[in-house]
Structure 1
Amino acid sequence: MKKTDKTFFQIIYLIALGLTYSCQTAHKETTTTHLPNIILLMGDDHGWDEVGYNGHPYLQTPVLDDMAATGLRMDRFYSASPVCSPTRGSVITGRHPNRYGTFTPGSSIRPEEISIAQVMKKAGYATAHFGKWHLGPVKATSPTNPAAMGFDEYLSHDNFFEMNPYLSRNGEPEEIYEGESSEILVREAIRFIQKAQENNQPFFVVIWYGSPHEPYSGLPEDLALYDDLPESFGDKIVRLTSNETGQQIDRPQRDVLQERFAEITAMDRSIGQMRDYLKAEALRQNTILWYFGDNGTPPEGNATVPFRGEKGQVYEGGVRVPSVLEWPARISRPMDSGVNAVTSDVFPTLCAITGQPLPDRPMDGIDLTPLFDGKMEERSEPIKFWNGRVRQEDGYIPLPYIDPELQKGTSPLVKLMNGIATRNFTNFHHPDIQEKDFGGARAILDNQYKLVIHGGIGENAKSELFDIKKDSAEINNLIHELPEMALLLDEKLKIWQQSVLESLMGYDY
């Protein structure tokens, strides 16, 4: 072969190779860039009625109201637990928190749990967490910090925070960030999104606000919005934390509500800042922006809750929370949904959207994507609630699941506990399954009825049955009118509890 012919064929080969590489690169970009960006937002102690779109007489939440008017409004959305840490665990895992011992505020998650951030990272997302973590310490040595759970970056706090929060960046010692905390989180999240965009990555961002958890504070302009609350509104004395001393004090509820409402309005405004950024960068069309609360309204904030109960209780007032979702590329018209949904559904829903398989272990959430297309009228599985606890009996000493040294918190906060301005975490092994383990406040909610059980088991349990569609306030107990329905729901609940206790013993790992 002549040298010129050889050179000619080498050139043709290099061109073909380049085209092949170019096509492969283009295919790779297509498989990642078509994925929607995802931002999960969660308020801390934000109850169902504390938004304008649900009819609150005084609160100003124009951004959430607009999201409800233009996106998907979920009127029957529930937190997996009536308190914060367990609900946060349900978002991260898609599983009920009792399965891995996250029973109460201050209970950590377990390192073996599979996190939604880990799944999203595998799908090609840049992942980040901002704000309240509360599933273990955020320090670098913690085996359950956000990085250990799959987040590439985090700026987070062990627990709740107020104005000028202390936050840890990627496990480093906490530093003070000056300003209104909700706006700080969104500002930092936007910086992360900008970096993800530069790297041509879809982003998965979790923003867990410190608001409106007590103790309360607000910017002067936000407080001024609520200067004229009626004197008769919230006219009782309530107990909460003092920002000055960290101790419990009694205050007029009207004054407390002014500060609480100011925090909610600031949080709402920060969501608007994120929406404005997404619009300016042409990202809003294919970004899922999903807001919900972590549990019902706490006692000091309970002035207009239309349901029975409050934070800590499995009645509607403790577990029903606001939820709105925007995704213009798929939800192109306003939608109101009365389908029961719960925070545990976030994991399987995002897996369905991104084409990722569910973990091979018991899951408690379901895929909500048919809801986005108007094809879901009822829920396929009941929602179960259960206020779990470490076994209580004389002489029993539970074995720590994680080295207690690794569970020590470092993030300063205002509220003192036993004189300490930080919080430590716990998680314990569960040795076996005994009949007494099935006790505690619990409930099961199907598409029409809700069975609520308090106390122990058998004769020691107090059961109530409500037609939740007709009686959201849970006033009319139908336990004697519909004993067969109560028995059916009770049996389903016990079967599920058995599965949960087996998970708690570590069978899933």
Structure 2
Amino acid sequence: MREELLISRRGFMLAGGAALAAAARAGGGPAAGGVPNVVLCMTDDQGWGDVSYNGLKAIRTPALDAMAAAGLRFNRFYAGAPLCSPTRGSVLTGRHPNRYGCFMPGSPIRAQEMTIAQALRRAGYRTGHFGKWHLNGVSGPGKPIAADDPLSPGKMGFDEWLSVSNYFDTDWTFSRKGELEKHVGDGSDVIVAEALKFIAAAVREGRPFLAVIWFGSPHSPHKPLPEDQKAAGGSAYYGELVAVDRAMGRLRSELRALGVADNTLVWFNSDNGATPAGSNGPLRGHKATLWEGGIRVPGIIEWPAGIRKPATTDVPACTSDIYPTVLELAKVTVPNQITPLDGLSLVPLIEGRMERRAAPIAFWHNPARAGGQLNTATGHAALCDNRYKLHRLPDGNWQLYDLVEDISEKRDLAAEKPEIVQQMKTELLRWIDSVAASYRGEDYRRAGIPFAPATRPAGPATAPAARPRRQQRQQARRRRQ
């Protein structure tokens, strides 16, 4: 194994700038065959109110504001779940995470799932993942991921990856395809610099690319650079968002320097609502709940070649829509696609032809499970259409809210509108039954994919240097039991 590399933030900027300049001289231009390049950016615990364009006053977010002003800004963009690992699964698969057992932070994805990286790589895209992964069944602070981890980014379709299992802050040790590298500086700066080097290489090769940039901020414990915390008025939480916005600004400017910004679709969103440290604006609830504050998040698509006229939309959209949207734009058809998909393609919305969502968005948080089965009567579930949102609360009660008139979910309309409740209830319960069938493996069997009830194949979860710490914690837990 190579020695750990100490790479400074300034060194990153210089090396990255040289690589970008060389790629620009080599000639960038549109991706091959007229398909777009794709960059998927996601923050960690950033609330709907944590951007200036939604009213944030604690700091300014000029890069995100510029994206929102230039592209397609979603007023109702939803994380697929109110927690990080499940939402990440929905981005990669277009399917609700409960279908493959990804229920909570640290839950693994199933190896049987088809990911957006696997699909695009088959179509000739270069694929790269940078930052937080959190789909290989490892909890706690971000740890390097072993090359032979069966659920590593590499095994799930990424050619290149500089990743850790969970959140990260400054001066962190990452895994580059299983090899340890320590990077000095803010983590948001680091992963964007690495993504840009990957992008520059793809441009030199004349290849379309998928770059997935998953930030570790502003997840606790909030340890920004001192100058970023100072710029945020002393707030460590918003100091991390200062760095995220700076990194997004660099991404946008250097895509332009490479000459590929026009035909590169940049999709930005958060993985769930904010904790009480951040802002969900007027929305009820917070991270880990299915109230709007737990799942409605900032959402922006910037794609100059495809979105020539800036727009703001109230059409509901979700992280599960990313997979079918990108595959349609990339002209990719997946043979024997695992179904059902929960997302739908937003290409008509991008093209200005969608005024209403054709199918509602369903959510189901933390159902009880045992013996390879989900208890369909448990957990908080919800269904959102273009106007109404129906909740099935954990106690079994049903509540209905008009999100057009009542964004804060203050007035329960269930008693006033029983017909709407019954219609949405029937649809939600039918969907829950389909999710329970998926969890049992019926989707895989229908597609002819071998499946055993175990949710995670055997194999190391972290890079070798991280294993002793994990073993020590396991031994400590056993001693406490």
CA distance in 2, matches of 1:481, 1:352: 41
- Give runs of aligned pairs for residues 304-315 of structure 1, distance below 5 A: 305-315=281-291
The one of 272, 290, 297 aligned to 1:321: 297
The one of 432, 442, 446 aligned to 1:497: 432
**Pairing 1:350–2:298 present:** no
- Matching residue of 1:56: 56
**Pairing 1:167–2:144 present:** no
Q: CA deviation at 1:346?
A: 0.1
* Contact residue 133 and residue 208 of structure 1 kept, 8 A: yes
CA distance in 1, matches of 2:33, 2:195: 19
CA separation of 1:161 and 1:31: change in aligned 2, threshold 3 A: closer
- Matching residue of 2:364: 386
CA distance in 1, matches of 2:132, 2:305: 30
Give the secondary structure class of the aligned counterpart of 2:262.
coil
CA distance in 2, matches of 1:478, 1:355: 43
CA distance in 2, matches of 1:282, 1:175: 30
The one of 214, 223, 230 aligned to 1:217: 223
**Pairing 1:226–2:232 present:** yes
CA distance in 2, matches of 1:333, 1:314: 33
Q: TM-score, normalised by structure 1?
A: 0.78
- Give runs of aligned pairs for residues 30-429 of structure 1, distance below 5 A: 32-136=32-136, 138-172=145-179, 174-227=180-233, 258-302=235-279, 305-358=281-334, 359-391=337-369
Superposition CA RMSD, Å? 1.6
CA separation of 1:277 and 1:108: change in aligned 2, threshold 3 A: same
CA separation of 1:30 and 1:260: change in aligned 2, threshold 3 A: closer
Question: Which deviates further from its counterpart, 218-227 or 184-193?
Answer: 218-227
* Contact residue 438 and residue 497 of structure 1 kept, 8 A: no
Gaps of 5+ in 2: 1-28, 139-144, 445-481
CA distance in 1, matches of 2:301, 2:326: 13
Give the secondary structure class of the aligned counterpart of 1:119.
helix
Q: CA deviation at 1:31?
A: 8.4
- Matching residue of 1:467: 402
Residue 51 of structure 2 aligns to which amino acid in structure 1? V
CA separation of 1:30 and 1:287: change in aligned 2, threshold 3 A: closer
* Contact residue 292 and residue 322 of structure 1 kept, 8 A: yes
Q: CA deviation at 1:157?
A: 0.5
CA distance in 2, matches of 1:284, 1:166: 30
Percent identity at matched positions? 44
CA offset digits 1:314-350 (Å, max 9, x no partner): 0000000001111100111211011000000000001
Q: CA deviation at 1:474?
A: 0.1
Residue 59 of structure 2 aligns to which amino acid in structure 1? L
CA distance in 1, matches of 2:355, 2:38: 25
CA distance in 2, matches of 1:377, 1:48: 22
**Pairing 1:449–2:388 present:** yes
* Contact residue 401 and residue 413 of structure 2 kept, 8 A: yes
- Matching residue of 1:233: none
Give the secondary structure class of the aligned counterpart of 2:393.
strand
Residue 380 of structure 1 aligns to which amino acid in structure 2? A
* Contact residue 52 and residue 59 of structure 1 kept, 8 A: yes
Q: CA deviation at 1:225?
A: 2.0
CA distance in 1, matches of 2:257, 2:332: 30
Q: CA deviation at 1:116?
A: 0.4
CA distance in 2, matches of 1:312, 1:31: 39
Give the secondary structure class of the aligned counterpart of 2:128.
strand
Residue-pair matches, total: 407
CA distance in 2, matches of 1:57, 1:464: 33
* Contact residue 200 and residue 258 of structure 2 kept, 8 A: no
CA separation of 1:273 and 1:96: change in aligned 2, threshold 3 A: same
Give the secondary structure class of the aligned counterpart of 2:328.
helix
CA distance in 1, matches of 2:294, 2:98: 17
Q: CA deviation at 1:310?
A: 0.3
Q: TM-score, normalised by structure 2?
A: 0.82
CA distance in 2, matches of 1:120, 1:127: 8
Return the index of the structure with the highest Cα Rg. 1
Residue 308 of structure 1 aligns to which amino acid in structure 2? R
Residue 203 of structure 1 aligns to which amino acid in structure 2? F
* Contact residue 130 and residue 214 of structure 2 kept, 8 A: yes
**Pairing 1:483–2:422 present:** no
CA offset digits 1:160-218 (Å, max 9, x no partner): 1111112101122x332111100000111111111112221111000000001000122
CA distance in 2, matches of 1:380, 1:201: 34
Give the secondary structure class of the aligned counterpart of 2:190.
helix
Gaps of 5+ in 1: 1-28, 228-254, 393-397, 399-429
CA separation of 1:187 and 1:380: change in aligned 2, threshold 3 A: same
* Contact residue 32 and residue 124 of structure 1 kept, 8 A: no
CA separation of 1:356 and 1:33: change in aligned 2, threshold 3 A: closer
* Contact residue 113 and residue 338 of structure 2 kept, 8 A: no
* Contact residue 297 and residue 305 of structure 1 kept, 8 A: no
CA separation of 1:130 and 1:477: change in aligned 2, threshold 3 A: same
CA offset digits 1:382-423 (Å, max 9, x no partner): 00011134526xxxxx5xxxxxxxxxxxxxxxxxxxxxxxxx
Give the secondary structure class of the aligned counterpart of 1:322.
strand
- Matching residue of 1:395: none
Residue 442 of structure 2 aligns to which amino acid in structure 1? Y
Q: CA deviation at 1:122?
A: 1.2
* Contact residue 79 and residue 296 of structure 2 kept, 8 A: yes
* Contact residue 44 and residue 272 of structure 2 kept, 8 A: yes
CA distance in 2, matches of 1:493, 1:439: 13
